[in-house]
Amino acid sequence: MLFPRTAACLVLSALVSSVSSYFVVTDPALNDQWANGDTRAVSWVKGVNDGVTSFDLEMSQLTTDGLTLIAKNVPSGDSSQKSINIQLQDVPPGDDYFLLFINSTNGAMYATSPRFTVLASGGTSNGTTTTNAKAATVTVSGAPNPTAPWATTFAIATSAASRPTFAGLSTLLLAAVWTLLW
């Protein structure tokens, strides 16, 4: 029967190709405190050849509805650009903020930061306060507002869709072998 073989091959292909990417937020750390007026680096480590060339960065507060749209199309692959600097201005204080590393076009969530605190202007920050001189600085102002435009938009990164990835090639090869042996 051709149908069961084809179905089994499709299921196997879907299982092999659904490998999640490695994407870890290193800053902010859990319980970091950011003061309004300070500039802080947000940094990450991600997998190689995972097809994630850029992402969108959003900030959310658990006790408030809405998002703050920080940056769209943040390049993620360049070794010099594994961070972005964020300056907070007039962001409401709270101990329940976190960052979302997402593809807002298709809804793919790559990572979330640990929970951190935003202090009023003049507050004493803790954690890593260094910034990356090579990274862009984005100013974030005001309360979460999903209808506000992105604070900044980077140029669109070249898509990895035109480049075959190891996961895609291995899935294709496995599907071909499975079909021939079945």
Residue of higher predicted confidence among 93 and 127: 93
Separation in Å, CA 106 to CA 87, 103, 109, 120: 28, 6, 9, 35
- Interatomic CA distance for residues 64 and 53, integer angstroms: 30
pLDDT reported for residue 79: 57
- Domain residues for the domain of 59 are 19-154
Indicate the residue type of 62.
L
pLDDT reported for residue 23: 82
Contact by Cβ (8 Å): 96, 112: no
Percent of the chain with pLDDT over 90: 25
- Give the domain CATH number at 114: 2.60.40.2840
Task: Reply yes or no on whether the pLDDT at 20 is more than 60.
Answer: no
User: Could you tell me the end-to-end alpha-carbon distance of the chain, in angstroms, rounded to an integer?
Assistant: 10
- Give domain status of residue 11, yes or no: no
pLDDT digits (tens, 9 = 90+) for 50-67: 778 888 999 999 888 888
- Give domain status of residue 94, yes or no: yes
Q: How many folded domains does the chain comprise?
A: 1
pTM, to two decimals:
0.71
Contact by Cβ (8 Å): 114, 43: no
pLDDT reported for residue 182: 53
- Give domain status of residue 93, yes or no: yes
Residue of higher predicted confidence among 172 and 136: 136
Tell me the mean pLDDT in the region 116-134. 79
- The whole-chain average pLDDT of the chain stands at 76
pLDDT digits (tens, 9 = 90+) for 79-102: 556 889 999 999 999 999 999 999
- Give domain status of residue 48, yes or no: yes
- Give domain status of residue 172, yes or no: no
